[in-house]
Amino acid sequence: MQMENFAPIMFAGLVFVMLIGFPVAFSLAALGLASGFFAIEMGWFPASFMANLPLNIFGILSNDLLLAIPFFTFMGAILEKCGLAEDMLDSMGQLFGPVRGGLGYSVIIVGFILGAITGTVAGQVIAMALISLPVMIRYGYNMRYATGVLAASGTITQLVPPSLVLVVVADQLGRSVGDMYKGAWGPSILQVLIFALYTFALGLVKPEHVPGIPKEARTLNGWALWAKCLRGIIPSAVLIFAVLGSMGGLPGLNVAIATPTEAGAMGCVGALVLAAMHKRLTGSLIWDAMQGTMRLTAMVVFILIGSRVFSMVFQGVDGAKWVEHLLSGLPGGQIGFLIVVNLFVFFLAFFLDFFEIAFIILPMLGPVADKLGIDLVWFGVLLCVNMQTSFMHPPFGFALFYLRGIADTLFKERRIEKAVRSADIYMGAIPWVIMQLMLVAIVIFVPQSVTMFLDKPEAIDIDKVQIEIPAEPEQGAPGSGDAATDQQQLEELLKEKK
């Protein structure tokens, strides 16, 4: 067997081990080690090549940027349990409720705000479903619309800064986290607008699917209602601006005063303050948040180790060259490459978590995209837009699983009168997946939706550059090199001072 034929075999093995259902971190490491020992036996690289593996892994794990992951995870875990979601959904639901589709608008807006401060899909979907699903069913909302909008508004957190996915993608592509955050604001806002337009159109075409709730159903009116809305929005906005603004992650800010890790630590303090303001800061809350953070961080580290073992051996057998030749020769240039890559990632997302895609697949695609002249911030944000569908498309979308579990809990507790069918959850997700794919197409064909918020590089006209050279001092002037003249002038100055 020739070495150039082994890279496709390794890639096929990668796809196989990802589909068999065994934890991908361990199966990847096993595949990488087995392939490495086989390559040594075949004489494709020396045994000393594998001896670099421990140093390689230690070098990756000592990356300061990855420290931001546990900080942002802890911040999200605190905020999803501090009562902020309940207060905002209640107040927004009463504010928009009388409008046709008002409960849908409130779920979309609160999902966007919570996505900007929590960054966790599971907690967001669960919190919003527990509060909003019984209300939407009680007032006659279509079941498929209700389940779809709750799941989709929860998954938008993968795209809204400070998303953990954006941190990982920035690390894998070697780009600034602040630039990745700035680029993600355009698609995030577009996604919210697309969801809102769909709700508005549904209210025009099928008003019985999204009815307005009676005004007398409100428990608050006037200034009391606005005050409750602002109590949720203002502290959230302050936290968002403090965390993202300090690291240069907001459009228009060109200076970062904190690293992503420092900004994440500041976000943790802000989350604890918000929890204290809502009188939910307890020892059990902090303990649960720490446990959740530990589990997620350990999962990320093991996936990172497994993917690094595989990718090092894959590069050792010239796998990177094979991927480059495979993808750079696609018809259509940049657009053809982006379409094929996004279709590939979309189907991988049926089976893989976004962390697995980011750590395993992205290191293979990034160098090819860079050589094709694609802006890597645009490319990274585009893949994040695509990867949010991994929580939504049937039958393996995690957001749908969360919703299924919450619906069963609500029925058992008699908070809803009839059980929610799985068919309604899965069919209700399809329009929202289509809207997410529409956003993927918009980002591909309109890259300005990402790049418009990035700092513009300074253009320098080489023809106008002037280099000025100071004129030579005249003979006899101070500093001219004539030592006798300089000494005479110095003596005259001293006499004048006396």
Cα 389–393–394 angle (5° rounding)? 165
pLDDT of residue 307: 80
> Side chain identity at 436, as an amino acid letter?
Q
High-pLDDT (> 90) share of the chain, %: 5
* Cβ 326 vs Cβ 367: under 8 Å: no
Question: What does the pLDDT read at residue 281?
Answer: 84
CA–CA distance from 49 to each of 9, 53, 221, 316 (Å)?
A: 20, 8, 70, 8
Q: Is the pLDDT of residue 193 over 90?
A: yes
Strongest mean pLDDT among 69-78, 227-236, 249-258, 460-469: 69-78
Kindly report the backbone phi and psi dihedral angles of residue 480, in degrees, each rounded to the nearest multiple of 5, phi listed first.
Answer: -80, -10
143-147, 358-362, 466-470, range with the lowest pLDDT = 466-470
**Range of weakest confidence among 49-58, 422-431, 465-474:** 465-474
What does the alpha-carbon distance between residue 492 and residue 257 come to, in Å, rounded to a whole number? 53
- Three-class secondary structure of residue 492 per DSSP: helix
The pLDDT assigned to 53 comes to: 82
Over residues 467-472, the mean pLDDT reads 61
pLDDT value at 194 more than 90: yes
Long-range Cβ contacts of 317-320 (<8 Å, 24+ apart): 317/3, 317/6, 317/7, 317/10, 317/35, 317/39, 317/44, 317/45, 318/3, 318/4, 318/7, 319/7, 319/10, 319/11, 319/364, 320/364, 320/367
Mean pLDDT value across residues 32-41 = 87
Upper half-sphere CA count for residue 291 (Cβ side, 13 Å): 6
pLDDT at 197 over 90: yes
Q: Please tell me the distance from the alpha carbon of residue 152 to that of residue 155, in angstroms, as a whole number.
A: 5
Residue 390 near residue 357, CB atoms below 8 Å: yes
The span from the CA of 363 to the CA of 308, in Å, is 10
pLDDT of the residue at 408: 83
pLDDT digits (tens, 9 = 90+) for 60-111: 777 777 788 888 888 877 877 776 767 777 777 777 767 888 888 888 888 8
Residue 438, pLDDT score = 92
What does the alpha-carbon distance between residue 85 and residue 114 come to, in Å, rounded to a whole number? 7
Which residue matches tokens 């890559």?
Answer: 341
CA distance 261 to 170: 13
Residue pair 230/219 in contact (Cβ under 8 Å)? The answer is no
Written as six digits, the tokens of 350 are 């049926």
* Segment 153-164 mean pLDDT: 82
- Select from 385, 440, 442, 435 the least CA-distant residue to 148: 435
Residue 33 has pLDDT above 60, yes or no: yes
Least confident range of 1-10, 137-146, 363-372: 1-10
| Low-confidence winner among 22-26, 134-138, 353-357, 459-463 (lowest mean pLDDT) | 459-463
Asked whether residue 367 carries a pLDDT value surpassing 70, the answer given is yes
Q: Which residue intervals of 349-397 are DSSP H helices?
A: 354-360, 362-371, 376-387
On the question of pLDDT at 463 being above 70, the answer is no
Highest mean pLDDT among 116-125, 406-415, 439-448: 439-448
Percent of the chain with pLDDT over 70: 86
pTM above 0.85, yes or no: no
Q: Which of 175, 177, 184 is nearest to 68 (CA)?
A: 177
Q: Among 79-88, 277-286, 486-495, name the most confident range.
A: 277-286
Asked if 28 and 307 touch (Cβ cutoff 8 Å), the reply is: yes
List Cα–Cα distances, 175 to 169, 257, 312, 359, 379, in angstroms: 8, 17, 21, 15, 11
pLDDT at 464: 63
DSSP three-state, residue 469: coil
439 contacts: CB under 8 Å, gap ≥ 6: 187, 190, 191, 194, 385
Nearest to 137 by CA among 84, 211, 220: 211
Half-sphere exposure in the Cβ direction for 205 (13 Å, CA)? 6
Tokens of 179: 């630039």
Q: Say if CB 317 and CB 50 are below 8 A apart.
A: no
Residue 46, pLDDT > 70, answer yes
The HSE-up count of residue 452 (CA atoms within 13 Å, CB side) is 8
- Mean pLDDT across the stretch 294-317? 83
pLDDT at 482: 54
Please say if the pLDDT value at position 373 is more than 80: yes
The average confidence (pLDDT) of the chain is 80
Confidence band of 473 (pLDDT split at 50, 70, 90): low
Measure the CA–CA gap between 179 and 454, rounded to whole angstroms: 6
Please, is 368 exposed, middle or buried when counting C-beta atoms within 10 Å of its C-beta (0-12, 13-18, 19+)? buried
pLDDT of residue 267: 84
Query: 256 or 421, which is more confident?
Result: 421
Over range 206-231, report the average pLDDT.
Answer: 77
